[in-house]
Chain A
Amino acid sequence: MEEFNYLAPESFDQAVVAKSQHAEKSRVIAGGTDLLLRMRDKVVAPSVLIDLRHTSLDKILISNGVMILGTSASLSQILENSEITQHFPALQTACREFAGPPIRNRATLGGNIVNASPAADLVPPLMAYDASIVLRASGGDRALPLAEFFTGPGQSVIAPDEILMEIQIPLLPASSAATFIKLGQRRSMAISQVNLTARLSMNNSDCVTDARIALGAVAPTPVRAHSAEDALVGEKLSEDLIRMAAKKAREEITPISDVRASLEYRLEMTEVLVRRALIATWKKQRRTKTSG
């Protein structure tokens, strides 16, 4: 590991000033579960580390119909939050299947996003829930949909002087349900071979009014399966329809072969898992209706 200066600002404002000052030469550290390994392996060699842990950016709260998650909220915090259980259970499922308890205690939501890994587990549920993010620089804030953040493996639109400040998720109508599924090589401590979240909103006659299918580890960035979503919206849900949508999702993705899975396996699993996620979501909808 190369030598670096370590800054631990007491406020987020100070962190933003430091970031604008050191720009490309600096990296923001929160949990460090990914960054420190990449520094050890000399994939990145920042000369300044700006630690966000003292900047109180780990708040999780609801304000004006929007859930706001601070960038350094840990995965364990998200898992334990009852409002997330109520509104965004698929995000919690993703947290539960992420690594193991010690890493979940350290790893942060913001870190999982900013790393821009195509396999990031928290991104598909956030995308399916229409999350947006707020980036702050000394010049001001900019907000954008999470789906527009990623540009390639490890690449995003974040500017050298910007820090991811918070994640915003609009509260959803009760008619919406979502399912997260992860496929890994073992049951914990696994990087996803494929991960995804399907979310459906439906009316009383089983007609899909809104659909989201967000996929990870099957393209250079996390992606939405738009044509599969389009195939569902406005239609009455059936197993045949779901099978057709799952096929479309498979056609939309551009996976690679790596040490975790082959391209062919990822294609096939995407179809299987999209189908399973849609069926599971459909069942959740029915349960909500019968119980409601």
Chain B
Amino acid sequence: MSDLAIVGKWTAAPGAREIVTGQARYCPDIQLPGMACGKLLYSPYARARIVKLNVSAARKLPGVFAVITHEDIPGENSYLYAEPDQPLLAVDEVRFQGDAVAAVAAIDARAADAALAAIRVEYEELPGIFNPLEAMQPTADQVLKGHDNVMMSQVYRTGDVDAAIESADIVIENTYRTQWAEHAYLEVEGGVGLVDHDGGITVYSSCQAPHRDRMQIARALGMSESMVRVITPYIGGAFGAKDEAHVQIHAGLLAHAAQRPVHLIRERRESILTHVKRHPMIIDYTTAATKEGQLLAVKARVIADGGPYSNSTHEVVNKCGEFIGGPYNVENLEVEKIAVRTNNPICGAFRGFGAPQAAFVYESQMDDLAHKLNIDPLQIRLLNGVETGTKMYTGVVVREASGMKESLNKAAKLIDWEKRDEIERNPKPHLRRGFGMATILKGAGLGRGLNDHAGVVLEMHRDGSVVLKSAAADMGQGIITVMAQLAAERLGIDIASIRVARADTEKAPDAGASCASRQVMVSGNAVLEAADSIRDTLLGLAVRKTKISKDRLDLRAGHLVVDGKPHEMTVKDLALRAGVWGYPLHAESISHFEYPTDVPEVTYRYSTEVFQFCTHIAQVLVDCETGQVTVEKLVAVHDVGKMINPGGVYGQIEGGIAQGIGYALTEELIVQNGLTKNPSLENYIIPMAFDIPELEMEVIEFPEPVGAPLGAKGIAEAPIIPPAPAIRNAIYDALGKPLYQLPMTPERILPVVNLDD
């Protein structure tokens, strides 16, 4: 194929105009005739027994169409986790502040509020279990009766860790703590349920996994999946918290109970209290190395607080363990992965999926090692970094790792790392400046052994226009643009000729969840396959017409191309001919993520095998009297394999850095005895424009050799991961003292400063 015409070029994203002009319709904008207002009643307690639950008064109120409790669920009363342990509506006990107890549908919000107020719940508050270390004890009371509080306890070992530690010149041991973090997307969770003419249920949902939601809704309704349809309108962000279902199941249940459309949108406070958070973790970490800085062994124990229900805790903690050694060649590694049930907020997926906690720890540890051995932080990373062909501690052989060291070197050059000591370190007596780096890897895709596929449907019409049907949810990350670009590239048309239908389970095959930075690869491959099938038909017709052999033909800029030169025949002409001659330009493709089988044994369970590499370097200024940290500058170099949509890639990097700075410095859900003290964006402090420094970003491209469309390996999660350790290391550089807890608030920094005084 000749040079790319559309892939890698800046382009206006399909739908961007609608979004910026306010025309795009999100779940809250949906209005249907006769639509009722749905609301949920949530537990105000972290743990309580439900003594009495009486909804009869609420049902009698005027304007109330339906009031449902667990008794009114026709099918299964649980979310569909690997372990389906969370009820949709609580039965006998509430186990976190935010467990739903009942649901109502009424003529308007006032009537719905009145119905909620008329529901009589008698709770007997129970002593909650809030400390994961206490919850782990065998004598601890069970958070979920019949289930061990330790919901996961696994050890993974490779090499001989103890012997390596024994033989090391230096051993560094630290304990790290991370916080509950909130996704804080613009659009809170919502759904609209409605009853179809045949009694089936359609749900509009702000979600990441429409087909899995369909399965869950059908299961709760006791209906067949064919009777349930899920459609995603525009989605205002998700970041993992809409990966598992939230209120869309309840919207379906309420529509079914009320036999009319029901609009169920959480308020911000409800959203923060009820949706999953990033897991707080306590990580003990031991690094062993030679005096030259060569890593010999890593030994880690991860304890994650998952809240009362499993959600995706197993998967998140497993991923945390998978990346616990970082992008380094570590021959001896042991990681103990423990996840615990408590009555704290429920935790689950959040951009990075366990990798941000791991990276905070392994990159902090790397700088501690560099400081102790008096080795430059850049050099110690280059010394230990994985290379193409390195067999990782997971057993995975990295097929393309050039981006690891290249991102380090490029980032160092961008910030002039070698000359950083020439910058004023003490601009005022109370101000200290520092520089810190972090380099990370993030796997893309779900992992070996997991069902990782996506399908698309592509149709070209007689006029040359194209409809692309995919069920891959676009939450703002831009998969629609990427799919349109790939299709346009192969069909030789411009992106404006392609209409991408928003995800709808009745239009397109399952594309799986938009998670794990996977859609560019899986849906991308499916689009290429489908587009190539239509392209083949078009070129075949061109051969018939021109009698020129196929290998001399191409499609580009709307024209047939012969030997690289535009021919008078256009793609439209060919499409019309196909229509007239009866060649349907219709293709479906289902693409499975490719895990090579001719590789040595991969020992880590569900290991990913395609890695995004990136390096961030932060320059910070610390006010030693107030403890405030200003991130003055941040450089970011990312290897994406192949950049398909530059605007999307740079946007993801910028957004990830902003979110990462919040995770580093200010964001923390304050939970006391299971109750969240700051369930609002007034007190949960995400960064605003003034808090984001000058950013310098560079994208590098080392195409992934296997399984990635044109070598593209995605970008979504990587950018949120390095800011926290990079900023931590910069603060260490500024103060000469390390920190071991996130977020690094002024009140956590001041005591460290005072040690010097």
Contact = CB atoms under 8 A, between A and B. Distances in A.
Nearest to B747: A265
Interface stretch (A21-29, A133-141, A157-165, A180-188): A180-188
Contacts of A186: 666, 685, 687-688, 690-691
A269 interface: yes
Given A186-B666, A188-B689, A259 B677 contact: yes
Contacts of B110: 3
B688 A189 contact: yes
A259 B628 CA distance: 17
B678 interface: yes
Contact of A272 (B626, B683, B690): B626
Given A3-B110, A273-B626, 13 more contacts: A100-B688, A183-B628, A186-B666, A186-B687, A186-B691, A187-B688, A188-B688, A188-B689, A259-B670, A260-B683, A262-B747, A268-B750, A272-B626
A191 interface: yes
24 contacts: A3-B110, A183-B628, A185-B666, A186-B666, A186-B690, A186-B691, A187-B688, A187-B691, A188-B688, A188-B690, A189-B688, A191-B682, A191-B683, A259-B677, A259-B678, A259-B683, A261-B747, A262-B747, A265-B746, A265-B750, A268-B750, A269-B626, A272-B626, A273-B626
Interface of B (DSSP majority class): loop
A268 B757 CA distance: 15
B376 interface: no
A190 B666 CA distance: 12
Nearest to A183: B626
B134 interface: no
Interface string B666-687: 1000100000011000110101
A134 B320 CA distance: 61
Interface string A1-39: 001000000000000000000000000000000000000
A177 B628 CA distance: 27
Interface in B648-669: 666
A120 to B, nearest CB: 15
What size tier do the contact residues of chain B reach? 10 to 19
Nearest to A184: B685
A244 to B, nearest CB: 17
Contacts of B690: 186-188
B625 interface: yes
Interface string B611-645: 00000000000000110100000000000000000
B564 to A, nearest CB: 53
Contacts of A272: 625-626
Interface string B514-543: 000000000000000000000000000000
Contacts of B750: 265, 268
Interface residues of A, number: 19
Contacts of A273: 626
Interface string A110-145: 000000000000000000000000000000000000
Interface string B740-757: 000000110010000000
A268 B687 CA distance: 25
A185 B685 contact: yes
Interface in A261-286: 261-262, 265, 268-269, 272-273
A3 B685 CA distance: 32
Interface of A: 3, 100, 183, 185-191, 259-262, 265, 268-269, 272-273
List the 8 shortest-distance A-B pairs measured between CB atoms, nearest first.
Answer: A187-B690, A185-B685, A272-B625, A259-B678, A259-B683, A188-B690, A188-B688, A186-B691
B272 to A, nearest CB: 13
B205 to A, nearest CB: 26
Query: Counting chain B CB atoms within 10 Å of each CB, which of A190, A259, A260, A265 scores highest?
Result: A259
Query: Counting chain A CB atoms within 10 Å of each CB, which of B626, B687, B688, B746 scores highest?
Result: B626
Contacts of B688: 100, 186-189
Contacts of A189: 688
Contacts of A100: 688
B742 to A, nearest CB: 15
A24 B374 CA distance: 70
Contacts of B747: 261-262, 265
A207 B356 CA distance: 56
B113 to A, nearest CB: 9
A224 B666 CA distance: 30
A68 B110 CA distance: 43
Contacts of A262: 747
Contacts of A3: 110
Contacts of B682: 191
Nearest to A40: B267
Contacts of B678: 259
Contacts of B746: 265
Nearest to B677: A259
A269 B678 CA distance: 22
Contacts of B691: 186-188
Contacts of B625: 272
Query: Counting chain B CB atoms within 10 Å of each CB, which of A3, A100, A269 scores highest?
Result: A269
B693 to A, nearest CB: 11
A265 B666 CA distance: 16
Contacts of A185: 666, 685
Nearest to B687: A186
A259 B676 CA distance: 10
Interface in B580-613: none
Nearest to A191: B682
A10 to B, nearest CB: 30
Query: Counting chain B CB atoms within 10 Å of each CB, which of A183, A185, A262 scores highest?
Result: A185
A265 B628 CA distance: 12
Nearest to A100: B688
B630 to A, nearest CB: 9
B744 to A, nearest CB: 13
Contacts of A260: 683
A262 B625 CA distance: 16
A191 B626 CA distance: 16
A260 B745 CA distance: 11
Contacts of A183: 626, 628
A190 B689 CA distance: 13
Interface string B69-111: 0000000000000000000000000000000000000000010
Nearest to A190: B685
Nearest to A37: B682
Nearest to B685: A185
A259 B110 CA distance: 31
Nearest to B269: A41
Nearest to B683: A259
Contacts of B670: 259
A207 to B, nearest CB: 27
Contacts of A269: 626
A256 B449 CA distance: 54
A189 B684 CA distance: 11
Interface string B371-394: 000000000000000000000000
B746 to A, nearest CB: 7
Interface string B691-725: 10000000000000000000000000000000000
Contacts of B685: 185-186, 190
B495 to A, nearest CB: 34
Contacts of B683: 191, 259-260
Nearest to A3: B110
Contacts of A259: 670, 677-678, 683
A264 to B, nearest CB: 8
Contacts of B626: 183, 269, 272-273
A250 B211 CA distance: 60
A272 B747 CA distance: 14
A268 B691 CA distance: 24
A191 B688 CA distance: 14
